[in-house]
Structure 1
Amino acid sequence: MPQRPKRLTPSRGPLDLFGSEVRRYREMASLSLAQLADQIPFSASTIGEIERGESGCDRVFAEQCDRVLDTREALAHLHDGLFDGRSAAFPEHFADWPDYESQAETMRAYEPLVIDGLLQTPSYAEVLLYGDQKAVQGRLTRQAILARDEPAPPRLIYILPERVLRSRVGTSEVMYDQLHRIADAVSPRLSVQVIPDGAPHPGNLGAFRIATLPGNSRIAYTSSEPQGKILDGASDIERLHERFADIATYALPAELSVGLIREIADEVWKP
Protein backbone atom coordinates (compact mmCIF):
# COMPACT_ATOMS: atom_id res chain seq x y z
CA MET A 1 0.00 0.00 0.00
CA PRO A 2 1.49 3.44 -0.94
CA GLN A 3 2.64 5.55 2.00
CA ARG A 4 0.16 8.26 2.87
CA PRO A 5 1.63 11.74 2.15
CA LYS A 6 2.68 13.67 5.20
CA ARG A 7 0.04 16.20 6.21
CA LEU A 8 1.51 19.68 6.02
CA THR A 9 0.66 22.68 8.14
CA PRO A 10 1.71 25.71 6.06
CA SER A 11 1.38 28.02 9.05
CA ARG A 12 4.22 26.15 10.78
CA GLY A 13 6.82 27.91 8.68
CA PRO A 14 8.19 28.78 5.25
CA LEU A 15 9.45 25.28 4.42
CA ASP A 16 6.04 23.70 5.05
CA LEU A 17 4.29 26.47 3.11
CA PHE A 18 6.59 26.19 0.12
CA GLY A 19 6.44 22.39 0.17
CA SER A 20 2.64 22.39 0.33
CA GLU A 21 2.46 24.62 -2.74
CA VAL A 22 4.87 22.43 -4.72
CA ARG A 23 2.74 19.40 -3.86
CA ARG A 24 -0.49 21.23 -4.74
CA TYR A 25 0.75 22.27 -8.17
CA ARG A 26 2.22 18.82 -8.84
CA GLU A 27 -1.04 17.10 -7.97
CA MET A 28 -3.02 19.61 -10.06
CA ALA A 29 -0.80 18.58 -12.98
CA SER A 30 -1.56 14.90 -12.20
CA LEU A 31 2.14 14.06 -11.90
CA SER A 32 3.72 11.64 -9.45
CA LEU A 33 7.03 12.45 -7.78
CA ALA A 34 8.79 10.15 -10.24
CA GLN A 35 7.08 11.74 -13.23
CA LEU A 36 8.07 15.23 -12.12
CA ALA A 37 11.63 14.03 -11.44
CA ASP A 38 11.81 12.79 -15.06
CA GLN A 39 11.31 16.36 -16.26
CA ILE A 40 13.51 18.38 -13.92
CA PRO A 41 17.12 17.85 -12.71
CA PHE A 42 16.07 16.78 -9.20
CA SER A 43 15.42 13.27 -7.89
CA ALA A 44 12.04 12.07 -6.67
CA SER A 45 13.45 11.70 -3.15
CA THR A 46 14.68 15.33 -3.15
CA ILE A 47 11.32 16.58 -4.40
CA GLY A 48 9.60 14.55 -1.69
CA GLU A 49 11.80 16.06 1.03
CA ILE A 50 11.02 19.56 -0.23
CA GLU A 51 7.29 18.86 -0.40
CA ARG A 52 7.31 17.51 3.17
CA GLY A 53 9.05 20.64 4.42
CA GLU A 54 12.12 18.64 5.42
CA SER A 55 14.56 20.41 3.12
CA GLY A 56 15.10 23.82 1.60
CA CYS A 57 15.95 24.35 -2.06
CA ASP A 58 17.54 26.75 -4.51
CA ARG A 59 15.42 29.14 -6.53
CA VAL A 60 16.39 26.99 -9.54
CA PHE A 61 14.17 24.23 -8.18
CA ALA A 62 11.20 26.62 -8.07
CA GLU A 63 11.93 27.80 -11.62
CA GLN A 64 12.11 24.24 -12.95
CA CYS A 65 8.84 23.32 -11.26
CA ASP A 66 7.20 26.46 -12.63
CA ARG A 67 8.25 25.46 -16.13
CA VAL A 68 6.92 21.91 -15.95
CA LEU A 69 3.82 22.56 -13.85
CA ASP A 70 2.77 25.71 -15.75
CA THR A 71 2.38 27.82 -12.60
CA ARG A 72 3.06 31.20 -14.26
CA GLU A 73 6.14 31.64 -12.02
CA ALA A 74 4.10 31.24 -8.84
CA LEU A 75 6.67 29.05 -7.08
CA ALA A 76 9.64 31.29 -7.93
CA HIS A 77 7.69 34.30 -6.67
CA LEU A 78 6.80 32.45 -3.46
CA HIS A 79 10.41 31.32 -3.03
CA ASP A 80 11.61 34.94 -3.29
CA GLY A 81 9.10 36.09 -0.70
CA LEU A 82 9.74 33.30 1.78
CA PHE A 83 13.49 32.83 1.57
CA ASP A 84 15.05 35.86 -0.11
CA GLY A 85 17.79 33.53 -1.36
CA ARG A 86 18.60 32.11 2.09
CA SER A 87 17.52 28.52 1.59
CA ALA A 88 20.47 27.80 -0.66
CA ALA A 89 22.88 29.29 1.83
CA PHE A 90 21.73 27.83 5.14
CA PRO A 91 20.67 24.40 6.33
CA GLU A 92 17.03 23.98 7.32
CA HIS A 93 17.64 24.04 11.07
CA PHE A 94 19.52 27.36 10.77
CA ALA A 95 17.48 29.08 8.05
CA ASP A 96 15.38 31.21 10.42
CA TRP A 97 18.29 32.33 12.62
CA PRO A 98 19.60 35.17 10.39
CA ASP A 99 16.21 36.87 10.76
CA TYR A 100 16.58 36.84 14.53
CA GLU A 101 20.16 38.11 14.23
CA SER A 102 18.98 41.01 12.11
CA GLN A 103 16.45 42.00 14.80
CA ALA A 104 18.75 41.52 17.78
CA GLU A 105 19.76 44.40 20.00
CA THR A 106 22.29 42.29 21.92
CA MET A 107 23.90 38.95 21.09
CA ARG A 108 25.95 36.71 23.31
CA ALA A 109 27.96 34.03 21.51
CA TYR A 110 30.12 31.18 22.77
CA GLU A 111 31.94 29.03 20.21
CA PRO A 112 34.45 26.43 21.52
CA LEU A 113 35.70 24.93 18.24
CA VAL A 114 36.01 27.56 15.49
CA ILE A 115 35.79 31.32 15.02
CA ASP A 116 32.21 32.58 15.18
CA GLY A 117 30.58 32.91 11.76
CA LEU A 118 29.87 36.63 12.19
CA LEU A 119 33.62 37.29 12.39
CA GLN A 120 35.02 34.81 9.86
CA THR A 121 37.09 35.97 6.91
CA PRO A 122 36.04 34.70 3.47
CA SER A 123 39.06 32.38 3.30
CA TYR A 124 38.41 30.89 6.74
CA ALA A 125 34.73 30.36 5.96
CA GLU A 126 35.56 28.76 2.60
CA VAL A 127 37.73 26.12 4.29
CA LEU A 128 35.05 25.30 6.87
CA LEU A 129 32.32 25.13 4.22
CA TYR A 130 34.38 23.03 1.79
CA GLY A 131 34.32 25.69 -0.90
CA ASP A 132 30.52 25.89 -1.13
CA GLN A 133 30.29 29.43 -2.48
CA LYS A 134 26.57 29.86 -1.80
CA ALA A 135 27.08 28.87 1.82
CA VAL A 136 30.14 31.14 2.10
CA GLN A 137 28.23 34.08 0.65
CA GLY A 138 25.34 33.42 3.00
CA ARG A 139 27.69 33.51 5.98
CA LEU A 140 29.37 36.70 4.82
CA THR A 141 26.00 38.35 4.15
CA ARG A 142 25.04 37.75 7.78
CA GLN A 143 28.01 39.87 8.83
CA ALA A 144 26.43 43.00 7.34
CA ILE A 145 24.45 43.56 10.55
CA LEU A 146 27.70 44.44 12.36
CA ALA A 147 28.46 47.32 9.98
CA ARG A 148 25.00 48.77 9.34
CA ASP A 149 24.01 52.33 10.24
CA GLU A 150 20.25 51.97 10.72
CA PRO A 151 19.21 50.39 12.93
CA ALA A 152 22.30 50.41 15.10
CA PRO A 153 24.39 47.21 14.97
CA PRO A 154 23.64 44.71 17.71
CA ARG A 155 25.90 44.67 20.74
CA LEU A 156 27.94 41.46 20.32
CA ILE A 157 29.63 39.79 23.29
CA TYR A 158 31.77 36.91 22.05
CA ILE A 159 33.70 34.38 24.14
CA LEU A 160 36.03 31.66 22.84
CA PRO A 161 38.73 29.37 24.26
CA GLU A 162 42.36 30.09 23.40
CA ARG A 163 42.67 26.72 21.66
CA VAL A 164 40.43 28.01 18.85
CA LEU A 165 43.10 30.59 18.05
CA ARG A 166 45.73 27.85 17.86
CA SER A 167 43.71 25.31 15.84
CA ARG A 168 44.65 25.43 12.17
CA VAL A 169 41.92 26.05 9.62
CA GLY A 170 43.47 26.26 6.17
CA THR A 171 46.91 27.78 5.75
CA SER A 172 48.99 29.86 8.14
CA GLU A 173 48.07 32.92 6.09
CA VAL A 174 44.36 32.15 6.54
CA MET A 175 44.84 31.89 10.30
CA TYR A 176 47.00 35.02 10.50
CA ASP A 177 44.44 37.12 8.64
CA GLN A 178 41.58 35.61 10.63
CA LEU A 179 43.06 36.38 14.03
CA HIS A 180 43.85 39.96 13.09
CA ARG A 181 40.32 40.27 11.70
CA ILE A 182 38.94 39.41 15.14
CA ALA A 183 41.26 41.80 16.95
CA ASP A 184 40.51 44.63 14.52
CA ALA A 185 36.75 44.11 14.89
CA VAL A 186 36.72 44.96 18.60
CA SER A 187 34.80 48.17 19.29
CA PRO A 188 32.48 49.65 21.90
CA ARG A 189 29.70 47.49 20.41
CA LEU A 190 31.74 44.33 19.90
CA SER A 191 33.79 42.66 22.60
CA VAL A 192 35.90 39.50 22.33
CA GLN A 193 37.07 37.62 25.41
CA VAL A 194 39.45 34.65 25.40
CA ILE A 195 39.53 31.84 27.96
CA PRO A 196 43.24 31.04 28.50
CA ASP A 197 44.42 27.49 27.91
CA GLY A 198 44.31 25.42 31.07
CA ALA A 199 41.47 27.34 32.71
CA PRO A 200 38.66 24.92 33.63
CA HIS A 201 35.26 26.24 32.62
CA PRO A 202 31.68 25.05 32.06
CA GLY A 203 31.79 25.60 28.29
CA ASN A 204 32.37 22.07 27.03
CA LEU A 205 28.76 21.30 26.09
CA GLY A 206 28.87 22.99 22.68
CA ALA A 207 28.39 26.32 20.97
CA PHE A 208 25.39 28.53 21.56
CA ARG A 209 24.23 32.08 21.09
CA ILE A 210 21.50 34.15 22.67
CA ALA A 211 19.79 37.05 20.92
CA THR A 212 17.95 39.71 22.89
CA LEU A 213 15.24 41.17 20.66
CA PRO A 214 13.23 44.41 20.93
CA GLY A 215 10.95 44.29 23.95
CA ASN A 216 13.60 42.32 25.85
CA SER A 217 12.41 38.95 24.51
CA ARG A 218 15.16 36.38 23.93
CA ILE A 219 15.77 33.48 21.59
CA ALA A 220 18.72 31.11 21.34
CA TYR A 221 20.50 28.82 18.92
CA THR A 222 22.51 25.81 20.06
CA SER A 223 24.90 23.72 17.99
CA SER A 224 24.72 19.96 18.39
CA GLU A 225 24.94 16.76 16.36
CA PRO A 226 23.49 15.92 13.92
CA GLN A 227 22.07 19.44 13.70
CA GLY A 228 21.56 22.55 15.78
CA LYS A 229 18.24 23.97 16.87
CA ILE A 230 16.53 27.21 17.77
CA LEU A 231 15.19 27.49 21.32
CA ASP A 232 12.51 29.89 22.50
CA GLY A 233 11.52 28.33 25.81
CA ALA A 234 12.10 30.66 28.76
CA SER A 235 13.66 27.99 30.98
CA ASP A 236 16.06 26.78 28.25
CA ILE A 237 17.19 30.31 27.47
CA GLU A 238 17.64 31.18 31.13
CA ARG A 239 19.90 28.14 31.60
CA LEU A 240 21.99 29.18 28.60
CA HIS A 241 22.16 32.75 29.89
CA GLU A 242 23.45 31.50 33.23
CA ARG A 243 25.97 29.23 31.52
CA PHE A 244 27.24 32.17 29.45
CA ALA A 245 27.69 34.23 32.60
CA ASP A 246 29.56 31.36 34.25
CA ILE A 247 31.85 30.91 31.23
CA ALA A 248 32.58 34.65 31.16
CA THR A 249 34.07 34.53 34.67
CA TYR A 250 36.94 32.42 33.28
CA ALA A 251 37.71 34.73 30.34
CA LEU A 252 40.31 37.46 30.15
CA PRO A 253 39.12 41.08 29.97
CA ALA A 254 38.59 42.35 26.43
CA GLU A 255 41.78 44.43 26.29
CA LEU A 256 43.99 41.54 27.41
CA SER A 257 42.16 39.20 25.06
CA VAL A 258 42.92 41.39 22.05
CA GLY A 259 46.58 41.46 23.04
CA LEU A 260 46.66 37.66 23.30
CA ILE A 261 44.95 37.26 19.91
CA ARG A 262 47.52 39.47 18.19
CA GLU A 263 50.37 37.73 20.02
CA ILE A 264 49.25 34.27 18.85
CA ALA A 265 48.72 35.56 15.31
CA ASP A 266 52.26 36.91 15.11
CA GLU A 267 54.04 34.11 16.99
CA VAL A 268 52.17 31.08 15.65
CA TRP A 269 50.65 32.00 12.29
CA LYS A 270 52.66 34.79 10.71
CA PRO A 271 53.54 33.48 7.21
Structure 2
Amino acid sequence: MPPRRPRRPSESPALIAFGRQMRRLREAKGLKQETIAHLTQVSGPQVSKIENGKKRATRSFVEFVDEHLEANGALINLWEDLNKDGHPVPIWFDWPAIEADAAMLICWQHSVIPGLAQTPEYALAIVHGNQEAADLRISRQAILSRDDERGPAIVLFLIEEQVLYHQVGTAETMRKQLEHLIEISMLPNVTVQVVLSRGDHDGNMGAFVLATMEDRSEVAYAETAIRAITTDDPADLAVLARTLVDLRARAVTQDMSRELIKKVAEERWT
Protein backbone atom coordinates (compact mmCIF):
# COMPACT_ATOMS: atom_id res chain seq x y z
CA MET A 1 0.00 0.00 0.00
CA PRO A 2 1.40 3.42 -0.93
CA PRO A 3 2.45 5.53 2.08
CA ARG A 4 -0.15 7.98 3.33
CA ARG A 5 0.57 11.52 2.27
CA PRO A 6 1.13 13.94 5.16
CA ARG A 7 -1.80 16.22 5.87
CA ARG A 8 -1.28 19.80 4.90
CA PRO A 9 -1.46 22.30 7.74
CA SER A 10 -4.82 24.00 7.99
CA GLU A 11 -3.35 27.32 9.15
CA SER A 12 -0.39 29.45 8.14
CA PRO A 13 1.52 31.14 10.98
CA ALA A 14 2.76 33.68 8.42
CA LEU A 15 -0.74 34.65 7.35
CA ILE A 16 -1.94 34.79 10.95
CA ALA A 17 0.95 37.07 11.91
CA PHE A 18 0.21 39.43 9.05
CA GLY A 19 -3.53 39.47 9.80
CA ARG A 20 -2.99 40.26 13.48
CA GLN A 21 -0.70 43.17 12.67
CA MET A 22 -3.17 44.57 10.17
CA ARG A 23 -5.97 44.32 12.73
CA ARG A 24 -3.87 46.12 15.38
CA LEU A 25 -3.12 48.98 13.01
CA ARG A 26 -6.75 49.23 11.88
CA GLU A 27 -8.14 49.23 15.41
CA ALA A 28 -5.55 51.79 16.49
CA LYS A 29 -7.09 54.11 13.90
CA GLY A 30 -10.60 53.29 15.09
CA LEU A 31 -11.64 51.88 11.71
CA LYS A 32 -13.98 48.97 11.05
CA GLN A 33 -13.36 46.14 8.61
CA GLU A 34 -16.25 47.46 6.52
CA THR A 35 -14.36 50.71 6.01
CA ILE A 36 -11.30 48.89 4.69
CA ALA A 37 -13.54 46.81 2.45
CA HIS A 38 -15.20 49.92 1.03
CA LEU A 39 -11.92 51.74 0.43
CA THR A 40 -10.18 48.79 -1.22
CA GLN A 41 -13.27 47.50 -3.05
CA VAL A 42 -12.69 44.10 -1.46
CA SER A 43 -15.67 42.35 0.14
CA GLY A 44 -16.04 42.47 3.92
CA PRO A 45 -15.75 38.68 4.29
CA GLN A 46 -12.47 38.76 2.32
CA VAL A 47 -11.02 41.45 4.61
CA SER A 48 -12.10 39.34 7.58
CA LYS A 49 -10.33 36.30 6.13
CA ILE A 50 -7.13 38.31 5.67
CA GLU A 51 -7.20 39.50 9.27
CA ASN A 52 -7.95 35.97 10.52
CA GLY A 53 -5.05 34.50 8.56
CA LYS A 54 -7.26 32.50 6.22
CA LYS A 55 -6.52 34.44 3.03
CA ARG A 56 -3.35 35.91 1.57
CA ALA A 57 -3.47 39.61 0.74
CA THR A 58 -2.19 40.92 -2.57
CA ARG A 59 0.62 43.44 -2.56
CA SER A 60 -1.61 46.13 -4.09
CA PHE A 61 -4.11 45.64 -1.24
CA VAL A 62 -1.33 45.85 1.35
CA GLU A 63 0.11 49.02 -0.17
CA PHE A 64 -3.30 50.72 -0.16
CA VAL A 65 -4.10 49.71 3.43
CA ASP A 66 -0.62 50.66 4.66
CA GLU A 67 -1.03 54.16 3.21
CA HIS A 68 -4.56 54.66 4.53
CA LEU A 69 -3.63 53.47 8.03
CA GLU A 70 -0.51 55.67 7.96
CA ALA A 71 1.57 52.63 8.85
CA ASN A 72 4.71 54.15 7.31
CA GLY A 73 5.51 50.96 5.43
CA ALA A 74 5.11 48.61 8.39
CA LEU A 75 2.53 46.42 6.66
CA ILE A 76 4.46 46.43 3.40
CA ASN A 77 7.67 45.46 5.19
CA LEU A 78 5.91 42.62 7.00
CA TRP A 79 4.38 41.38 3.75
CA GLU A 80 7.84 41.40 2.16
CA ASP A 81 9.35 39.60 5.17
CA LEU A 82 6.80 36.85 4.63
CA ASN A 83 8.05 36.28 1.10
CA LYS A 84 10.73 33.82 0.16
CA ASP A 85 12.46 34.18 -3.20
CA GLY A 86 9.64 36.38 -4.39
CA HIS A 87 6.95 33.86 -3.50
CA PRO A 88 4.48 34.66 -0.71
CA VAL A 89 4.47 32.36 2.28
CA PRO A 90 2.90 29.83 2.52
CA ILE A 91 4.41 28.48 -0.66
CA TRP A 92 1.86 25.78 -1.37
CA PHE A 93 -0.75 24.92 1.21
CA ASP A 94 -2.99 27.95 0.73
CA TRP A 95 -3.77 27.10 -2.90
CA PRO A 96 -6.88 24.93 -2.23
CA ALA A 97 -8.52 27.89 -0.47
CA ILE A 98 -7.57 30.24 -3.30
CA GLU A 99 -8.90 27.82 -5.91
CA ALA A 100 -12.18 27.36 -4.03
CA ASP A 101 -12.74 31.14 -3.79
CA ALA A 102 -11.76 31.96 -7.39
CA ALA A 103 -14.19 33.61 -9.76
CA MET A 104 -12.27 32.33 -12.80
CA LEU A 105 -9.56 29.75 -13.39
CA ILE A 106 -7.35 29.18 -16.42
CA CYS A 107 -5.68 25.77 -16.26
CA TRP A 108 -2.78 24.83 -18.55
CA GLN A 109 -1.54 21.24 -18.66
CA HIS A 110 1.01 19.67 -20.99
CA SER A 111 1.38 16.21 -19.42
CA VAL A 112 -1.90 15.04 -17.82
CA ILE A 113 -5.56 16.02 -17.69
CA PRO A 114 -6.02 18.91 -15.20
CA GLY A 115 -7.19 17.81 -11.75
CA LEU A 116 -10.46 19.72 -11.97
CA ALA A 117 -11.36 17.76 -15.11
CA GLN A 118 -10.28 14.27 -14.02
CA THR A 119 -12.55 11.27 -13.55
CA PRO A 120 -12.22 9.31 -10.28
CA GLU A 121 -10.49 6.43 -12.12
CA TYR A 122 -8.00 8.71 -13.83
CA ALA A 123 -7.29 10.58 -10.58
CA LEU A 124 -6.71 7.29 -8.73
CA ALA A 125 -4.20 6.20 -11.37
CA ILE A 126 -2.39 9.57 -11.18
CA VAL A 127 -1.89 9.28 -7.40
CA HIS A 128 -0.81 5.61 -7.65
CA GLY A 129 -3.83 4.12 -5.93
CA ASN A 130 -3.99 6.52 -2.98
CA GLN A 131 -7.76 6.66 -2.52
CA GLU A 132 -7.67 9.49 0.02
CA ALA A 133 -5.64 11.70 -2.31
CA ALA A 134 -7.88 10.84 -5.27
CA ASP A 135 -11.05 11.63 -3.31
CA LEU A 136 -9.59 14.97 -2.22
CA ARG A 137 -8.75 15.82 -5.81
CA ILE A 138 -12.25 15.00 -7.02
CA SER A 139 -13.87 16.96 -4.19
CA ARG A 140 -12.22 20.13 -5.48
CA GLN A 141 -14.35 19.87 -8.62
CA ALA A 142 -17.30 21.20 -6.62
CA ILE A 143 -16.36 24.71 -7.78
CA LEU A 144 -17.55 23.77 -11.28
CA SER A 145 -21.11 23.57 -9.95
CA ARG A 146 -20.80 25.92 -6.97
CA ASP A 147 -24.34 26.97 -5.95
CA ASP A 148 -23.72 29.74 -3.41
CA GLU A 149 -24.18 33.46 -4.09
CA ARG A 150 -21.02 33.52 -6.22
CA GLY A 151 -22.21 30.83 -8.59
CA PRO A 152 -19.91 28.33 -10.32
CA ALA A 153 -16.40 29.38 -11.26
CA ILE A 154 -15.66 30.14 -14.89
CA VAL A 155 -13.00 27.66 -15.97
CA LEU A 156 -10.88 27.42 -19.10
CA PHE A 157 -8.91 24.21 -19.63
CA LEU A 158 -6.02 24.48 -22.08
CA ILE A 159 -4.69 20.99 -22.72
CA GLU A 160 -1.71 19.98 -24.83
CA GLU A 161 -2.73 17.65 -27.67
CA GLN A 162 -0.27 14.97 -26.60
CA VAL A 163 -2.10 14.62 -23.24
CA LEU A 164 -4.94 12.92 -25.13
CA TYR A 165 -2.52 10.18 -26.20
CA HIS A 166 -0.62 9.85 -22.90
CA GLN A 167 -2.00 6.71 -21.26
CA VAL A 168 -2.89 6.95 -17.58
CA GLY A 169 -4.43 3.78 -16.19
CA THR A 170 -6.17 1.44 -18.62
CA ALA A 171 -7.45 2.16 -22.11
CA GLU A 172 -10.98 2.20 -20.66
CA THR A 173 -9.87 4.79 -18.10
CA MET A 174 -8.58 6.96 -20.94
CA ARG A 175 -11.73 6.57 -23.03
CA LYS A 176 -13.98 7.51 -20.12
CA GLN A 177 -11.69 10.40 -19.25
CA LEU A 178 -11.88 11.86 -22.75
CA GLU A 179 -15.64 11.37 -22.82
CA HIS A 180 -15.81 13.22 -19.50
CA LEU A 181 -13.80 16.08 -21.00
CA ILE A 182 -16.39 16.42 -23.75
CA GLU A 183 -19.20 16.25 -21.21
CA ILE A 184 -17.90 19.02 -18.94
CA SER A 185 -17.11 21.19 -21.97
CA MET A 186 -20.88 21.41 -22.45
CA LEU A 187 -21.28 23.25 -19.14
CA PRO A 188 -21.98 26.96 -19.70
CA ASN A 189 -19.13 27.97 -17.39
CA VAL A 190 -16.49 25.57 -18.77
CA THR A 191 -14.36 25.82 -21.90
CA VAL A 192 -12.02 23.07 -23.07
CA GLN A 193 -9.50 23.83 -25.81
CA VAL A 194 -6.76 21.62 -27.20
CA VAL A 195 -3.40 23.25 -27.85
CA LEU A 196 -1.78 21.72 -30.91
CA SER A 197 1.57 20.04 -30.32
CA ARG A 198 3.54 21.90 -32.95
CA GLY A 199 6.92 23.41 -32.26
CA ASP A 200 8.40 24.82 -29.09
CA HIS A 201 6.54 27.30 -26.87
CA ASP A 202 6.77 28.76 -23.37
CA GLY A 203 4.05 26.45 -22.11
CA ASN A 204 6.55 23.60 -22.25
CA MET A 205 8.24 25.10 -19.18
CA GLY A 206 5.51 23.77 -16.89
CA ALA A 207 1.86 23.44 -15.99
CA PHE A 208 0.10 26.23 -14.12
CA VAL A 209 -3.26 27.59 -13.03
CA LEU A 210 -4.14 31.28 -13.00
CA ALA A 211 -6.91 32.26 -10.57
CA THR A 212 -8.83 35.52 -10.82
CA MET A 213 -10.52 36.41 -7.54
CA GLU A 214 -13.74 38.34 -6.95
CA ASP A 215 -11.76 41.55 -6.40
CA ARG A 216 -10.08 40.96 -9.83
CA SER A 217 -6.70 40.23 -8.22
CA GLU A 218 -4.78 37.28 -9.64
CA VAL A 219 -2.88 34.42 -8.04
CA ALA A 220 -0.99 31.72 -9.90
CA TYR A 221 -0.14 28.15 -8.98
CA ALA A 222 2.78 26.56 -10.78
CA GLU A 223 4.37 23.14 -10.56
CA THR A 224 8.15 22.81 -10.52
CA ALA A 225 10.55 19.88 -10.21
CA ILE A 226 11.19 20.85 -6.57
CA ARG A 227 7.80 21.98 -5.31
CA ALA A 228 4.57 23.67 -6.28
CA ILE A 229 4.37 27.40 -5.60
CA THR A 230 1.74 30.10 -5.41
CA THR A 231 2.57 33.64 -6.43
CA ASP A 232 0.91 36.97 -7.07
CA ASP A 233 4.16 38.71 -7.96
CA PRO A 234 3.47 41.05 -10.91
CA ALA A 235 6.57 39.89 -12.76
CA ASP A 236 5.49 36.25 -12.49
CA LEU A 237 1.95 37.07 -13.59
CA ALA A 238 3.27 39.01 -16.58
CA VAL A 239 5.25 35.95 -17.73
CA LEU A 240 2.18 33.74 -17.44
CA ALA A 241 0.05 36.30 -19.28
CA ARG A 242 2.46 36.24 -22.24
CA THR A 243 2.49 32.44 -22.14
CA LEU A 244 -1.31 32.31 -22.23
CA VAL A 245 -1.42 34.60 -25.26
CA ASP A 246 0.86 32.14 -27.09
CA LEU A 247 -1.11 29.10 -25.94
CA ARG A 248 -4.47 30.55 -26.95
CA ALA A 249 -3.03 31.35 -30.39
CA ARG A 250 -2.08 27.66 -30.78
CA ALA A 251 -5.41 26.30 -29.49
CA VAL A 252 -8.25 25.14 -31.71
CA THR A 253 -11.82 26.25 -31.01
CA GLN A 254 -13.98 24.49 -28.44
CA ASP A 255 -16.07 22.78 -31.12
CA MET A 256 -12.97 21.60 -32.95
CA SER A 257 -11.47 20.51 -29.64
CA ARG A 258 -14.52 18.34 -28.91
CA GLU A 259 -14.22 16.71 -32.32
CA LEU A 260 -10.52 16.03 -31.82
CA ILE A 261 -11.06 14.60 -28.33
CA LYS A 262 -13.89 12.39 -29.63
CA LYS A 263 -11.72 11.17 -32.50
CA VAL A 264 -8.83 10.22 -30.20
CA ALA A 265 -11.20 8.46 -27.78
CA GLU A 266 -12.70 6.37 -30.58
CA GLU A 267 -9.54 5.63 -32.56
CA ARG A 268 -6.94 5.30 -29.79
CA TRP A 269 -8.77 4.19 -26.67
CA THR A 270 -11.68 2.01 -27.87
With the length of structure 1 as denominator, give the TM-score of the two structures.
Answer: 0.65
Amino acid at match of 2:109: E
- Give deviations 1:102-153, integer Å, cap 9, x for gaps: 1111111101000000010111011110111111111011001101222211
Taking the aligned partners of 1:156 and 1:201, their CA distance within structure 2 comes to 22
Match of 1:138 among 136, 139, 143: 136
Deviation at 1:101, TM superposition (A): 1.0
Match for 1:181: what amino acid? H
CA distance, structure 1, for counterparts of residue 129 and residue 235 of structure 2: 38
Distance between the aligned counterparts of 1:252 and 1:201, measured in 2? 16
Q: Comparing both chains, which one has the higher relative contact order based on Cα–Cα distances under 8 Å and sequence gaps of 6 or more?
A: 2
Asked whether the 8 Å contact 1:199–1:250 carries over to 2, the reply is no
Question: Which residue is equivalent to 1:61?
Answer: none
Q: 1:104 aligns with which of 80, 102, 105?
A: 102
Map Cα deviations across residues 163-193 of structure 1 (whole Å, 9 max, x no partner): 0000100100000000000111013211011
Secondary structure (helix, strand or coil) at the match of 2:202 reads coil
SS state of the match for residue 124, structure 1? Answer: helix
Structure 1 CA distance for aligned equivalents of residues 192 and 200 of structure 2: 19
Structure 2 segments unaligned to the other structure (5+ residues): 1-11, 17-89
Structure 2 CA distance, aligned partners of 1:265 and 1:93?
37
Please report the RMSD computed on the Cα atoms of aligned residues, expressed in angstroms. Answer: 1.8
Match of residue 14 from structure 2? 12
- Does structure 1 conserve the Cα–Cα contact (< 8 Å) formed by 2:105 and 2:156? yes
**Which residue number in structure 1 is paired with residue 221 of structure 2?**
221
Structure 2 distance, partners of 1:183, 1:102, is 23
Contact 1:97 1:221 in 2 (8 A): yes
Aligned equivalents of 2:253 and 2:214: distance in 1?
A: 28
Shift of residue 93 of structure 1?
Answer: 5.2
2:206·2:222 contact (CA, 8 Å) conserved in 1?
yes
CA contact (8 A) 1:168 1:175 kept: yes
Per the alignment, residue 181 of structure 1 pairs with: 180
Matched, 1:154 2:153: yes
Query: Per-residue deviation at 1:200?
Result: 4.3
Instruction: Work out the CA distance in 1 between the residues paired with 2:171 and 2:98.
Output: 34
The 5-angstrom pairing of residues 1-271 of structure 1 reads 11-13=13-15, 94-150=92-148, 151-186=150-185, 187-270=187-270
How far apart are the structure 1 equivalents of 2:176 and 2:118? 10
TM-score (norm 2): 0.65
Conserved 8 A contact 2:146-2:153:
no
TM-superposed CA distance for 1:199, in Å, is: 4.9
Consecutive unaligned residues in structure 1, runs of 5 or more: 1-9, 15-91
Partner of 1:197: helix, strand, or coil? coil
Q: Residue 22 of structure 2 corresponds to which residue in structure 1?
A: none
**Secondary structure class of the residue paired with 2:158:** strand
Q: Decide whether the 8 Å contact of 1:201 with 1:250 is kept in 2.
A: no
**Cα distance, 1:96 vs. partner?**
1.4
- SS of the residue 1:101 aligns to: helix
| SS of corresponding position for 1:167 | coil
